[in-house]
Amino acid sequence: MRVLTHCLSFGKPRSLIGLWLGLSGLLAAIALLSLLYGAGDVGPARAWQALQDLGAAASYDSEAHFVIAELRAPRLWIGLVVGAALGIAGALLQAVTRNPLAEPGLLGVSAGAAFAVTLAILWGADTATLRVSVAQLGALGGCLCVLAAARLQGIGSDPIRLILAGAILSGLLHSLSSLILLYDQHTADEIRFWVVGSLAGRQLDDLVPLFPTLGVATLLTILLARPLAALALGEHVAIGLGHHPRVVRLLVIVVVALLVGGATAAAGPIAFVGLVVPFAARALAGPDIRRTLWLCLPLGPIVVVSADIVSRLVVPPSELPLGVLTALIGAPVLIGVVRGRRLPTL
């Protein structure tokens, strides 16, 4: 606990704690709505009654109980984990590159993970654990390729170059994934809905393989928070405070790969969450990475679970893929960030 307090210390505890508690309360309300609303025949009234009957001895609506326990609850838990992972990954990536446009979906990290999983399915991978490992390796490869192409040393002064490198890599990997889907019909049937990002049809068992690597990523994030805050003041200041910028960057890339790879393996590539969540966190708490990370914990799930609820309701009785909806939300935010930051124009 002392290490946690030291690494994630912040300047105005009461203000941040108030924000965090308020957002946590909002997240609890959204989680309840996620259990109550869906695209099927079980409406809010039946779902609420089924929730009340869960702990009672009286008989309950078996259909509503099945929908809540087997369909809505698993996708809620996965949405919580995926939202937190993508939000924190986006904040870390923006901090280490000092670029407000850095986002896993824009930099090819999610595309690398998705392409790796596509290959794994093509070659017969049928275990969730293997898919998570492959997705994390793909995310790491995508991240390293983009950062190498954009020359990490000069990223802070030219953010547009980073986005262009990510767009090129993402387009290439998406094209290769499409070719694989055309080549193999079995792979296409298995991955078609997953590749656009969705929480539908997911089970709690899909989360189990994520826990070890997410635990490692959480520990590394706690340890990296203070060095990243120092790095924001400049490399020379960070070195003077006893930190090693190259080691910090390398570890952040590993953490981002673990978080994004795990989230992509569980729910498919979901774009713009890693852009919207840190943007909102900084607007609420300021630029300090430690405060941003704290707020990303509830904000990430809020964005993902809210978008998932909307995706169930806009085209009933069908569902809109979650990745499509987050793209519709994130694109205006991206435009706003570019205009607000007065970034270089082409």
User: How high is the pLDDT of residue 190?
Assistant: 64
> Greater confidence, 165 or 224?
224
Residue % of the chain over a pLDDT of 90: 21
What's the mean pLDDT when you consider all of the chain?
80
Domains and CATH numbers, the chain: 72-338 (1.10.3470.10)
CA distance 26 to 100: 26
CA distance 165 to 181: 25
Give residue 222's Cα distance to chain centre: 18
Contact 335, 101 (CB under 8 A): no
pLDDT band at 4 (very low <50, low <70, confident <90, very high): very low
For residue 78, pLDDT over 50 is answered with yes
Residue % of the chain over a pLDDT of 70: 82
For residue 177, pLDDT over 90 is answered with no
pLDDT band at 341 (very low <50, low <70, confident <90, very high): low
**What is the DSSP code (8-state) at residue 124?**
T
Contact 222, 8 (CB under 8 A): yes
For residue 296, pLDDT over 70 is answered with yes
Mean per-residue pLDDT, 285-297: 90
Tokens for 131?
A: 């898919």
For residue 261, pLDDT over 80 is answered with yes
313 φ/ψ angles, rounded to the nearest 5 degrees: -105, -20
CA distance 124 to 277: 35
User: How high is the pLDDT of residue 292?
Assistant: 92
Question: Model pTM?
Answer: 0.86
Q: Scanning the structure block, which residue is given the tokens 């262009």?
A: 164
- Please report the DSSP string for 59-123 in residue order: ---HHHHHIIIIIIHHHHHHHHHHHHHHHHHHHHHHHHHT-TT--TTTTTHHHHHHHHHHHHHHT
pLDDT band at 155 (very low <50, low <70, confident <90, very high): very low
User: How high is the pLDDT of residue 128?
Assistant: 64
